[in-house]
Chain A
């Protein structure tokens, strides 16, 4: 099962993924001509602010079974067998909002399309054209820090587990965490945490931290 895996610790909130997604789904797949598209292409991935100025790239995870697919009264959402992803057939979509209501990631929005005047369910399609060409999805390709990775989930977890093993054993013998973010990033994150605490943006130390 190949997924786009988000590593929160590496997301720096640059939103390159949002831009790349919008370009990939524009008419000419080009940044400058995209600006003339009507309606303008919108990203299907959203980088949002969490607590302590940390960020997270959120998108459709192509669940299986997919709640959206099961909830859709017109069968506009279906599973694509080739890449094991959920897709929207815009012609069948009646803009009822059911899929958005049941989505565990709140990753479905409604956008007008060029072909259909009304709003249609709009979400990540995992870039099928790119996958056919053997490329990574646009968001993954655009991610400089490796916060987004497209791979077999078990493969990713296997790699991450080796780190966990080292970390846990290192902590058990009192040598601290084996490997974390670089020193400068750690001190930066600590400062950001304090800034969040002192200001209006969400902080883990404020009661109201979770609503902006």
Chain B
């Protein structure tokens, strides 16, 4: 029995620090995603091949991937159309998620400009003015609030179709924008592309698979250079543009004798106020009265990334750590906003004293305590939640607490601005290092955790392989957290890098992997790529750069991969998207797109082989540039 459990633990996770907790879940029958994955086997091949269409009531239909069975749905759609339709649907859901998050930041930003929020201010007024000037708003003689109001109005207009243009697309090099114009995929409005997608996937609208896929790229671009970029930039103005900062990561960030509050989800707008509230002396006193040494805030998933980037708040882990964090028995309250939150969390919390606190009207979870967040009353809500956590702490059974490890050090806060600062105010040192071949190129490694592959194996091994090949990594989301947990986000990790990259990192005292933030902060990767390409007067596709998503699971990750590709990054995804039911769609995405956006997708589950593909691509781009 014990060997069977040990075998399972080893097969489930690559992160030694969480094995004890994983073992506990198995010993104590605490159900996790890995158990549910097992229970779900076998998973339907029609769905995995993308040839199942469940969109209308003439169906559901599925195409026989072999000969003999039905080759068209009732409506007449063939495998290619059904696969393309499903993919467009997924990419649109991802774009909508990021962009709706962006909208909420924008609403809070606009509310703050209008004096209608509580606990917010504009922390980075320099960026406020910079963004204003960038999008053509006069700043002279205007107060910060007036400028913010104008910015808010201008971006609000981008969600609909008043402008038919997204200002931040001007950050892309002209050559890249020209590619979009020629392909007819220049995004026109954040909401517009999403709504249009939903129209196109309806029966009897889009029937040409290639045309559907082109629109999925346009929708993805409206996220990357629209919704997500607005979320990143306005969050920076409200909460501060990240600067390089030290922090810690893994389940060991939870503390035995503290009130542990885990902030899980994606949006920083409530969690940032919780950080403020948790510093309130009255609440700190209350925690002491309850017998705790203090209040310990830790992040998880992308809310965690947002908080670590800007405030250095430690992180308990990435997406697949959400249940393991609860299984330590040390979490008093897990505050959730939205996205990537397992609906089953309250069931797991019930094994202990822990409480799940939902905060978004959009993301209610049965079994959670609901404390709805509104910008106008944010601070009061945050205070209430911290009080609830303190009360819950009193119910904690210390005997049930098992924190499996000591926290790992990591360095975070690499916004585009911080990277530029670290380089001495210009990209020249980085470009020189690339030209000299000390750094061969840059890979943006992003995306989720997926229980189908050993937890963190893909991220960590891809990162290690690329480092050895003198390729600089910029990481966001669960990828960055995986590298952080593995101890790769510290300057000392440069020892594992190739000689060239090691030299550059050591001279700047920088880690070989730069943590650039949450998944919406993949927009920072776009901004960085745009600035580097502009400095070299090339399109993004000409850069010795690429993208990767080794352990992706989410529709949002597909969207990111799509805007990476549409922006010119060759992108390798680790798990096969649900596309292989159509040879035509697969060929277009992994080959034909090269002729449209000068970049394409590849699928490679093995991180070592993926690293080789990425290196090959980077070397070919170097050759084309003559460096």
Real binding pair: yes
Q: Interface of A with B (CB < 8 Å)?
A: 10-15, 47-49, 53, 55, 144-146, 181-185, 187-188, 191-192, 194-195, 197-201, 206, 208, 211-212
B626 to chain A, nearest CB (A): 35
- Judge whether B8 is part of the interface by a CB distance below 8 angstroms: yes
With a cutoff of 8 Å between Cβ atoms, the chain A residues found around residue B606 in the complex are 194, 197-198
Is B576 in contact with A188, judged by CB distance below 8 angstroms? yes
Is A191 in contact with B70, judged by CB distance below 8 angstroms? no
- Judge whether B187 is part of the interface by a CB distance below 8 angstroms: no
In Å, the complex CA distance between A206 and B604 comes to: 19
Is A144 in contact with B583, judged by CB distance below 8 angstroms? no
Mark the stretch among B58-66, B344-352, B384-392, B423-431 that contacts chain A.
B58-66
In Å, the complex CA distance between A200 and B45 comes to: 19
Nearest B residue to A185, CB-CB? B65
Nearest B residue to A146, CB-CB? B68
Q: Interface of B with A (CB < 8 Å)?
A: 4, 7-8, 11-12, 34, 37-38, 41-49, 62, 64-66, 68-70, 451-454, 457-458, 575-576, 580-583, 586, 603-606
Is A182 in contact with B34, judged by CB distance below 8 angstroms? no
Is B46 in contact with A199, judged by CB distance below 8 angstroms? no
In Å, the complex CA distance between A49 and B68 comes to: 24
Can you name 19 A-B pairs with beta carbons within 8 Å?
A10-B66, A11-B45, A12-B45, A12-B46, A12-B49, A144-B46, A145-B64, A145-B66, A146-B64, A184-B581, A184-B583, A187-B586, A188-B49, A194-B604, A195-B452, A200-B8, A200-B451, A200-B452, A212-B41
Q: Which 10 A-B pairs give the minimum distances between C-beta atoms?
A: A12-B45, A13-B42, A188-B580, A194-B605, A200-B11, A49-B41, A184-B583, A55-B42, A199-B453, A198-B453
In Å, the complex CA distance between A15 and B42 comes to: 8
Q: A146-B66, A184-B581, A197-B605 are in contact. List 20 more A-B contacts (CB 8 A).
A: A14-B46, A14-B47, A49-B42, A144-B62, A145-B64, A145-B65, A145-B68, A145-B69, A182-B65, A191-B575, A195-B575, A197-B606, A198-B454, A198-B457, A198-B605, A200-B8, A200-B451, A201-B41, A212-B38, A212-B41
In Å, the complex CA distance between A197 and B457 comes to: 12
Nearest B residue to A206, CB-CB? B11
A17 to chain B, nearest CB (A): 12
Is B69 in contact with A146, judged by CB distance below 8 angstroms? yes
Is B586 in contact with A184, judged by CB distance below 8 angstroms? yes
With a cutoff of 8 Å between Cβ atoms, the chain B residues found around residue A208 in the complex are 7, 11
Is A199 in contact with B451, judged by CB distance below 8 angstroms? yes
Given contacts A185-B66, A188-B49, contact A48 B42 (CB under 8 A): yes
Given contacts A188-B576, A194-B606, contact A199 B69 (CB under 8 A): no
With a cutoff of 8 Å between Cβ atoms, the chain B residues found around residue A187 in the complex are 580, 586
Is B69 in contact with A201, judged by CB distance below 8 angstroms? no
Is A182 in contact with B41, judged by CB distance below 8 angstroms? no
In Å, the complex CA distance between A145 and B71 comes to: 10
With a cutoff of 8 Å between Cβ atoms, the chain B residues found around residue A212 in the complex are 38, 41
User: Which of A15, A146, A201 has the largest count of B CB atoms less than 10 A from its CB?
Assistant: A201
In Å, the complex CA distance between A182 and B37 comes to: 28
Is B452 in contact with A182, judged by CB distance below 8 angstroms? no
In Å, the complex CA distance between A198 and B43 comes to: 17
Is A184 in contact with B582, judged by CB distance below 8 angstroms? yes
With a cutoff of 8 Å between Cβ atoms, the chain A residues found around residue B64 in the complex are 144-146
In Å, the complex CA distance between A181 and B581 comes to: 12
User: Which of B49, B576, B582 has the largest count of A CB atoms less than 10 A from its CB?
Assistant: B576
Given contacts A192-B576, A200-B8, A200-B34, contact A182 B66 (CB under 8 A): yes
With a cutoff of 8 Å between Cβ atoms, the chain B residues found around residue A11 in the complex are 45
With a cutoff of 8 Å between Cβ atoms, the chain A residues found around residue B604 in the complex are 194
Is B45 in contact with A55, judged by CB distance below 8 angstroms? yes
Nearest B residue to A186, CB-CB? B580
In Å, the complex CA distance between A10 and B49 comes to: 13
With a cutoff of 8 Å between Cβ atoms, the chain A residues found around residue B7 in the complex are 208
With a cutoff of 8 Å between Cβ atoms, the chain A residues found around residue B44 in the complex are 12-15
With a cutoff of 8 Å between Cβ atoms, the chain A residues found around residue B65 in the complex are 12, 145, 182, 184-185
In Å, the complex CA distance between A145 and B64 comes to: 5
In Å, the complex CA distance between A96 and B24 comes to: 37
B561 to chain A, nearest CB (A): 16
Contact of B580 among A14, A184, A198 (CB under 8 A): A184
Nearest A residue to B38, CB-CB? A212
User: Which of B7, B11, B454 has the largest count of A CB atoms less than 10 A from its CB?
Assistant: B11
Is B66 in contact with A198, judged by CB distance below 8 angstroms? no
A4 to chain B, nearest CB (A): 17
Is B451 in contact with A198, judged by CB distance below 8 angstroms? no
In Å, the complex CA distance between A207 and B410 comes to: 36
In Å, the complex CA distance between A143 and B37 comes to: 24
Nearest A residue to B49, CB-CB? A188
In Å, the complex CA distance between A194 and B453 comes to: 10
In Å, the complex CA distance between A197 and B604 comes to: 13
A82 to chain B, nearest CB (A): 29
With a cutoff of 8 Å between Cβ atoms, the chain A residues found around residue B8 in the complex are 200
A188 to chain B, nearest CB (A): 4
With a cutoff of 8 Å between Cβ atoms, the chain B residues found around residue A201 in the complex are 37-38, 41, 452
Is A191 in contact with B45, judged by CB distance below 8 angstroms? no
User: Which of B42, B43, B49, B582 has the largest count of A CB atoms less than 10 A from its CB?
Assistant: B42
Given contacts A144-B64, A184-B586, A192-B576, contact A13 B452 (CB under 8 A): no
